[in-house]
Structure 1
Amino acid sequence: MSFLVIGECVADIVRAPEGSGTADRVHPGGSPANVAYGLARLGRHVTLLTQLADDPAGRLIGAHLKDAGVRVESRGRPERTPSAVVGLDAQGRATYAFDIAWTLEAGEPPAGAPAHVHIGSIAAVTAPGAAAVLAGAERLRDRATVSYDPNVRPELMGQHGPAVARVERCVALADLVKASDEDLAWLYPGEEPEAVAARWLDLGPAVVLVTRGAAGSFAVTRHHTVAAGAPPVDVVDTVGAGDSFTSAVLDALAGRDRAALGALAAGELAELLARAGAAAAVTVSRAGARPPDRAELDAARRAHART
């Protein structure tokens, strides 16, 4: 089965907590790129449609993705590769300051017929390139399932009302949506995540997944609501945790059509959350967005099942 991910690459410049005595680190990043990388690490055939500049950061990210087996198609040549200065607090939680332009142009999808298309983050809501992202997903939707992760970055979302409308358009296009509780808190202040997830189902998705950091995650379909705790882990940093979660979800659900996604049993949803949570736990246990390969994920899932 093949995957197409459409979205941005970002050079994550990770700054250690003040007074820690450690140096800044530069890691390949960008939520869609991380998802593509995570899928490739799990042995999946994946193409990333993105934009990379011919600069040190672009070459670093391109080599990183290709080393994992991601087929990278860069459309257009931006002046510089997007970057994000990532600040970490004492608990390893990340905040971001962005220098990003997204100018992807519409065109024919990459060669091949993907069975699944993943979109999200900055690329799905930032003009002018967002129009090309949505057009690509809409064009392929008659023969592929679609997933979406809003990965909200408030600094880049613009006015709140139009931003929510853009996100909801993406939700309506998707068969599976993954969001964090922080995403939902910004989009719908004061509303309970479970209520938002249920309302999103009415827009069209078969499955909505919500992550809650150390509090775990939950999944909602039209038939079930299932929650799971997060595995215990010593956190180095949280960069890429949600993307690792998404990669593990897409890997576990590979080959399911829309009807099958909507018909997932409660036990299947529980195992899905547990496996994706194990992937996120591996990622937060080490620096940068470094998701597990299949052997690491299998080992982590077995270890967490015993706790």
Structure 2
Amino acid sequence: MLTVIGEGLVDVVQRSSGTQAHVGGSPLNVAVGLARLDHPVQFVGRYGRDAYGESLAAHLKSSSVLLPVAPDGLPTSVATAQIGDDGAASYTFDLAWELPGLAERLPFLLQGTTLLHTGSIATMLAPGAAAVLAAVEHAHPSTTVSFDPNCRPSIIADVDYARGQAEKFVALADIVKASDEDLEWLYPGVDPLDSARRWLALGGAEGPAMVVVTRGAEGPWGVNAAGEAHFPAPAVTVADTVGAGDSFMAALLSGVVDRGLDGAQNRKALRELSAGSMRELLAHAAAAAAATVSRAGANPPTREELKLAEAGAPLPASTARERQP
């Protein structure tokens, strides 16, 4: 079982052609991406007893993601995404992030988990961020941990605080993914690749096995103990960039799981992964991101669609499990 802890919300997407609402949130998108790649996965996050919350739960169910938490009395969080003419998205948020009672339920929720993913708002915004860090600390001795800061400066404007939070999670993670924009914001004036190399050393012997940087059209780059690797971004006509990084993260983790490298007992093997194998993982993840940007919304590919994308074949505009609030 794979577990994702983090925020779920509803993306209200505004374009020049009109407004649509879709279930989203970076960690939730990763959970859906993993499920569409045929991995058993559960999502631990909050949602409200309202119409948006019902849509969120239905969306997860439609993609076969388990939801072991009940709705609470707060409104379901909303992110408003403004899509520019170039397909890029900018966000504003109305959200609540807390996970009361999570600590008491951790042994049950994480039983059998071989990989725990978290990131984004969930790891930064109080009071829930403290509960997420406690969950990662609890899971680390037995579980592969992955982290994506997916920084949101419009929510967490204090870069010093955000940097400190990110580094706490990086030091506990085995697999870290960040965008070049994340790293440029966290470490102004520093080459993002140099920041990634520094992150690889955080936590010492217990720190990351690999750090990956997504760079848009330049393609992803990664660093591990064996060296560095790069894969060029696939050529694709961009519908929008919503969820591209999350699809990349899901496919990267899927590749790790497919190689039998999840679980703390495989931590040594993950650390010894060759640079060539890391490049294969980057290629796999880049194809998933390309599939997502080729169609509207955070719509990650199924395993069958990812095979098509890797072969350079066109994808359908949507999957059978596409979600609508």
**Alpha-carbon contact 1:82-1:100 (below 8 Å) kept:** yes
Contact 2:74 2:96 in 1 (8 A): no
Q: Tell me whether 99-108 or 278-287 shows the greater mean CA deviation.
A: 99-108
User: Per the alignment, in what secondary structure is the counterpart of residue 68 of structure 2?
Assistant: strand
The AA in structure 1 aligned to 2:68 is E
| Structure 1 runs not aligned, ≥5 long | none
8 Å Cα contact 1:49-1:75 kept in structure 2: no
User: What does 1:10-29 align with in structure 2 at a 5 Å threshold?
Assistant: 10-17=9-16, 22-29=17-24
> Which residue type is aligned with residue 270 of structure 2?
L
**Pair 1:70 & 2:65 matched:** yes
Taking only the aligned residue pairs, the percentage that are identical comes to: 47
Deviations 1:28-86 (A, max 9, x none): 10000000000000110001000010111111111111111000123561421111110
Whether the aligned pair in 1 keeps the contact of 2:233 and 2:286 (CA below 8 Å) is yes
Deviation, structure 1 residue 194: 1.1
Matches of residues 143-158 of structure 1 in structure 2 within 5 Å?
143-158=142-157
Tell me which amino acid in the other structure corresponds to 1:201: L
C-alpha separation in 2, matches of 1:111 and 1:261: 21
In structure 1, how many angstroms separate the alpha carbons of the residues matched to 2:26 and 2:19? 20
Residues 215-294 of structure 1 correspond to what in structure 2 (within 5 A)? Answer: 215-254=218-257, 255-256=260-261, 257-294=266-303
1:75–1:104 Cα contact (<8 Å) kept: no
Name the SS for the 2:126 alignment partner: coil
Query: Offset at 1:193?
Result: 1.2
Displacement of 1:112: 3.2
Which amino acid letter does the alignment assign opposite residue 291 of structure 2? V
Q: 1:180/1:272 Cα in 2 relative to 1: closer, same or farther (>3 Å)?
A: same
Q: Which secondary structure does the structure 2 equivalent of 1:24 belong to?
A: strand
Decide which of 85, 93, 96 is 2:88's aligned counterpart.
93
- Counterpart of 2:133 in structure 1 is 134
Residue in 2 that maps onto 1:212: 215
TM norm structure 2: 0.90
Question: 2: distance between equivalents of 1:205 and 1:62?
Answer: 32
CA–CA separation in structure 2 for the residues paired with 1:63 and 1:169: 33
User: Is 2:48 the partner of 1:49?
Assistant: no
Q: TM-score, normalised by structure 1?
A: 0.95
More deviation in 22-31 or 106-115? Answer: 106-115
1:95 partner SS: strand
Say if 2:306 is the partner of 1:303: no
Deviates more, 1:33-42 or 1:77-86: 77-86
Rounded to whole Å, the distance in 2 between the matches of 1:111 and 1:166 is 22
Count of paired positions: 299
Secondary structure, in 3 states, of the residue corresponding to 2:154?
Answer: helix
